[in-house]
Amino acid sequence: MSKRLLGKACIITGADLPAGEAAALRFAQEGALLLLSGIDEQRLRSTVTKVKSFCPSLYSILATPQQNADNIVQTALRQFGTVDVLLHITAEPTGHPLHETPLDEWEQTFSNITDSTFHMCRAVLPCMQAHHRGSIIHLISTAALLGRQGRSAFCAAQSAIPALTRSIAIDYAPYNIRANFICTGSALSSLSDGNWEDAANAAVFLASDEATFMTGTSICADGGLTETDLGRSL
């Protein structure tokens, strides 16, 4: 069986999170060229160690997307000459009920999630436009659609990503650039909250040439949370 991402240059942010580790492993197994970024050096190194035997062209960078998006993309361009896929995975959940949420926590949460998404997309889109192809995939929490108790800032910040994704899909369709998002679990940090292998497989599909007519849409790998009363009861 041919590898579905063979030779595709891919950036995966949040590679120091469990979801990012699972995605990096599956992308590597499917033949991708990988640049992994994260903010936790030890966890990012752990991901690299697990992935490197599957990926002869593997690079990593310790960087925060909201502050270093251009550097992340330029590093990929230096190594690969192009960027075919951006898989953006945002920060771990934090939060309090709204009346207990400090202003600095609200602003930092939006910086980690919404601002980082904006900066990464803005940095990578010119390259994709120039090559007239690309796939942007956002991995988000079901909190974006359902809300979660005690996580007001996290839910609000996550909820901006579906709208941004659909806007990108509309604006950049003439350049053969696709944008989609994957909803998974109730939080992006805990293995008990989602099957990261399912989410990683969904990301491989959206990144591949098997999904060339899919844009502006979502895949839910969330155990039925968004479509059943399970989610409404949380």
- Asked whether residue 56 is assigned to any structural domain, the reply reads yes
**Tens of pLDDT along 186-218?**
444 444 445 788 999 999 999 999 999 999 999
CA–CA distances in Å: residue 15 to residues 41, 70, 172, 231? 10, 17, 26, 27
Number of domains, the chain: 1
Percent of the residues in the chain that have a pLDDT greater than 90, as a whole number:
65
CATH code of residue 194: 3.40.50.720
- Res 56: pLDDT: 87
- Using pLDDT thresholds of 50, 70 and 90, give the confidence band for residue 106: confident
- Asked whether residue 116 is assigned to any structural domain, the reply reads yes
- Asked whether residue 64 is assigned to any structural domain, the reply reads yes
Residue 157, domain extent: 9-232
| Dihedrals phi, psi of 35, to nearest 5 degrees | -115, 115
Task: Give the residue from 186, 196, 144 showing the smallest Cα distance to 166.
Answer: 144
